[in-house]
Structure 1
Amino acid sequence: MQNHDGDVVESKTESITSIQTSEIDDWANFRDDDIMKQQSAIQAEEAVKIPFVGDKEPLLTLAAEYQSGSPILQEKIKVLSEQYAAIRRTRGDGNCFFRSFMFAYLEHILESQDRAEVDRIKVNVEQCRKTLLSLGYAEFTFEDFFALFLEQLESVLSGNEASISHEELVQRSRDQSISDCVVMFFRFITSGELKKRSEFYEPFVQGLTNGTVEQFCKSSVEPMGEESDHVHITALSDALGVPIRILYLDRSCDDKGSISVNHHDFTPAPGNPTNDNANAVKPFITLLYRPGHYDILYPK
């Protein structure tokens, strides 16, 4: 859970320390991992109160959330509001980047009916399937996730019996059995890309952990609930050939005190033939990053 400054709030953790000494004889007996598990349980309890994917809200709701917070953040939200009209929040359960990407991409296809993009990404998905097989993954470990994503992709195209409306897309994104499976699809795609180009990604992974790419994928990419960093975003963008824009809502400002909202465009590497034109395409997926969390932004 975050406060108005984007920092993690550990309000309930404070209440733990107020438990009477008769109930806990010695606080020092609690190991660090015990405390972390307690904090994780609190955060998980708060997270389930929010849908996997929320309703589209005016960006003004974000301003209201920070009205008593940092003046820098308030000013940055004003800057954001000049170009962005709305926000769609996602559940802060460690899967928020992948859920945000999932919904934003499928929503884009539903609204644009870009069949050429669907054909293009299907080629990349098939290449990702072959990559996983070449890396030694058994097909039964990921085939259901691939099949479900392709099913969702077809469903947002009009003109077939399985076509769905925008309202149905929202409902499906909130169905745990569907939403979690698509998240796992993206996690496998990301893991396969990292391992395929391990020499390229190794320095970035070592900047986050002392482990190898293989270990990083096993501990921080493939398991549900593991948060995403720039390495995950880069790998997913490269694998699927989809450019992604991330805007950062934080308390940074330049040396002169000037306030602006920093952003970074993740443009796909030209490894796949279908990615060749990706660098010329303006990102149609825009996410807002606050410390530890991603939501979807909608331009004006």
Structure 2
Amino acid sequence: MNEGEGDAAIPPIEAGPAPPPAAPERPSDEDILAQQNLLRAEQAQRSEYVGNEEPLSALKEEYINGNQNFVSKIQKLEATYKAFRRTRGDGNCFYRGLVFAYLEGLLLNQDMAECERFTSVVQSWKGRLVEGGFQELVFEDAMELLLDQVKAVRKPQSDFGHEGLLINMRDDMVSNMIVMFLRLVTSCEVQLHEDRFFPFILGMYDEPPATVELFCQRYVEPMGEESDHLHIVAVAEALQIPVRVVYLDSSGAPSGGGSGLEVTTHDFVPDSCPPGTTPRVHLLYRPGHYDILYPR
């Protein structure tokens, strides 16, 4: 056998088509939610807890190239509201907007009678919170910080003015401790009137917490948890502050002539208020967020 005679050339094995690249793994719902929360937190850190007063035209500009129903509603709001003030979108915007707008009203109107009434109501919550199982050590300093803002309004010849209130409510410690106190008051109010609030809880969640106490521990007391109808009812009752919420969303019936949707408003007036009581605080609700409104 000649050299190489038995070594017949072996044809190369032809490679088949390359497998398609693996599809990127879809992020889980938890990953998506975590990313959204991170973006939201980063955006929130770039804004003040309480912003400056702005004309409603600034809000309208946000939607001028997008949601025309919102533009139409804002145009209607301009007939009754002159301005708005943004609050940080950190989940605490309802409480922060509520307390700033209320204290600002006391300051601008120099309403001494209301200062005294509010002080008395806040002080009365000390005993109720303790009876409700909250440790005085946890909330006492926060309660005093809130009362300090009212004292500054009442003090004759005080140099505490609008700028002073803004500085305090933009301060991390002062602002967040006051919000924390309001959350505890809301929680205690809900638990003290369980029969009234438990039907709300049952209607709000597919898997509602088993008890009002568990609901409050999960959705009311923690900082950053968003607020809805139940929270507004509870804190308005607890502090006896009438609140109006204007809803900038897709709710409402078409207005006459087909020019967009009517603005939906809801007044949360405590049972203790006499008939005809007008709201002391006006808030603008956009899905997931509350800002402050200023009536004309």
TM-score by length of 2: 0.86
User: Which residue, out of 262, 265, 268, partners 2:267?
Assistant: 265
Q: Deviations 1:149-203 (Å, cap 9, x if unpaired)?
A: 1111111224165x51111111111111111011011111111100110111000
Q: How much does 1:94 deviate?
A: 0.2
Q: Whole-Å Cα distance in 2 between the matches of residues 206 and 59 of structure 1?
A: 37
Q: How many residues align?
A: 270
Question: Which residue is equivalent to 1:226?
Answer: 225
User: Which residue, out of 87, 106, 109, partners 1:112?
Assistant: 109
Gapped regions of structure 1 (runs ≥ 5): 1-21, 271-275
Q: Whole-Å Cα distance in 2 between the matches of residues 252 and 202 of structure 1?
A: 25
Query: CA RMSD, aligned part only?
Result: 1.9
Q: How much does 1:25 deviate?
A: 8.3
Q: How much does 1:131 deviate?
A: 1.4
Question: Which residue is equivalent to 1:292?
Answer: 288
User: Aligned ranges for residues 106-145 of structure 1 at < 5 Å?
Assistant: 106-145=103-142
Q: Judge which range, 139-148 or 122-131, deviates more.
A: 122-131
TM-score by length of 1: 0.85
SS of the residue aligned with 1:218?
A: helix
Q: Whole-Å Cα distance in 2 between the matches of residues 255 and 122 of structure 1?
A: 43
| Residue type at the aligned position of 1:83 | T
Q: Judge which range, 148-157 or 90-99, deviates more.
A: 148-157
CA contact (8 A) 1:113 1:158 kept: no
Q: Whole-Å Cα distance in 2 between the matches of residues 60 and 43 of structure 1?
A: 24
Q: Deviations 1:254-285 (Å, cap 9, x if unpaired)?
A: 26756211100001123xxxxx43x4320021
Question: Which residue is equivalent to 1:19?
Answer: none
Q: How much does 1:26 deviate?
A: 5.1
Gapped regions of structure 2 (runs ≥ 5): 1-20
Query: Higher Cα Rg: structure 1 or 2?
Result: 2
Q: Whole-Å Cα distance in 2 between the matches of residues 77 and 158 of structure 1?
A: 38
CA contact (8 A) 2:254 2:262 kept: no
User: Which residue, out of 37, 44, 58, partners 1:47?
Assistant: 44
Q: Whole-Å Cα distance in 2 between the matches of residues 101 and 70 of structure 1?
A: 27
| Residue type at the aligned position of 2:173 | S
SS of the residue aligned with 1:82?
A: coil
Q: Deviations 1:87-121 (Å, cap 9, x if unpaired)?
A: 10000000000010111011001011111111111
SS of the residue aligned with 2:41?
A: helix
Q: Whole-Å Cα distance in 1 between the matches of residues 120 and 153 of structure 2?
A: 18
| Residue type at the aligned position of 1:27 | E
Q: Whole-Å Cα distance in 2 between the matches of residues 253 and 181 of structure 1?
A: 36
Q: Whole-Å Cα distance in 2 between the matches of residues 255 and 181 of structure 1?
A: 42
Q: Whole-Å Cα distance in 1 between the matches of residues 195 and 222 of structure 2?
A: 22
